[in-house]
Amino acid sequence: MLYQLSYLARPGNDRGPLRGDATRIRRYHRTVATGGHILVVDDERSIRRLLRMYLDEAGYTVTEAADGAEALAKMRSGGIDLVLLDLMIPEVDGLEVARRIRADQPAVPIIMLTAREDEASRVTGLEMGADDYVTKPFSARELVARVRAVLRRVQGAEGPSGPLRAGPVELDPVSRTCRRDGKEIELTRLEFDLLAELAAHPNVVFTRERLLERVWGYQSGVGGKTVDVHVANLRRKLGKDLPIVAVRGVGYRLDPAGP
């Protein structure tokens, strides 16, 4: 990654990691900022500076980390609401950082940033519990919109208040617990929200795009693969008889009668 700050900051540049006119984008985001403390983890100072600039102007507090060890230390200090995490960082790599964050602070959302475009890396990141995956180059406006959407969903989302069933699985949206045959099973935040959305609307067919809107809060650039990976994780954790039915060419529905 050989991006230079002078190149990235060039107004109207449509090929750098952060595209568009910076002044116009800052003016736009001042009107829609929601606040929050963002940890930006990237080994390139120029990337960190630009992310700080756009996030600052959007109303967020920003803390920087240049490597995985520093990122984990900042996380231990507490107070982080969301992590923007590059996969290709020194000391402790991004996937391991994500794994440790997810183990120690499972409520903190993670958006992964990387130049990698291969599907294997994308799927691995999602399986580690990332909320989204953004490849460089990316739009500053889109990035801030994603941060805002994830934080809005995490901090203010309202869902069903009563118990939900998905075949042999019972969900309690209030305590956010998942049980199968009386045994509690740990789900990530997004896994829980996805299963709860399907269980709250039995027999309703959701397209992948609609699930992205309702569960993730926006249309993810990762596309439908995001949903597929989380469904696969749910089946792995809860059993192949979990009654989530794939509707070919469309999406998914929950069959209350079971598989």
Rounded CA gap, 63 and 77, in Å? 11
Rounded CA gap, 180 and 8, in Å? 50
Q: 156 is written with which tokens?
A: 């203010």
**19: β partners:** 139
What are the E-state strand segments in the chain?
Answer: 18-19, 37-41, 61-65, 82-86, 110-114, 132-135, 138-139, 164-166, 169-172, 177-180, 183-184, 206-207, 244-247, 251-254
Rounded CA gap, 221 and 233, in Å? 20
Distances (CA, A) of 186 to 47, 55, 192, 238: 35, 32, 9, 10
Query: Over its length of 259 residues, how does the chain's per-residue pLDDT go in tens digits?
Result: 333 333 343 333 433 444 444 444 444 444 344 478 999 999 999 989 989 999 988 889 999 999 999 999 999 988 899 999 998 899 998 889 998 998 888 889 999 887 766 667 667 777 777 888 787 777 877 888 888 888 877 765 555 567 899 989 999 988 889 999 889 999 988 899 899 999 999 999 999 888 887 887 765 555 677 889 899 999 999 998 899 999 988 899 999 876 5
Query: What is the pTM for the complete model shown?
Result: 0.64
Per DSSP, 106 falls in state T
pLDDT at 258: 65
Per DSSP, 201 falls in state S
pLDDT at 33: 41
Contact criterion met (CB below 8 Å) for 148 and 32: yes
Residue indicated by tokens 């617990």: 177
The domain 164-254 having CATH identifier 3.10.20.580: the answer here is no
pLDDT at 30: 42
- Residue 104's CB is within 10 A of a number of other CB atoms, namely 11
Domains 5-156 and 164-254 share a fold: no
Instruction: Say which CATH superfamily domain 5-156 falls into.
Output: Response regulator (3.40.50.2300)
The domain ranges of the chain are: 5-156, 164-254
Across the beta sheet with 251-254, the strand order is 206-207, 251-254, 244-247
What contacts 24+ positions apart, CB below 8 Å, involve 212-215? 215/153, 215/190
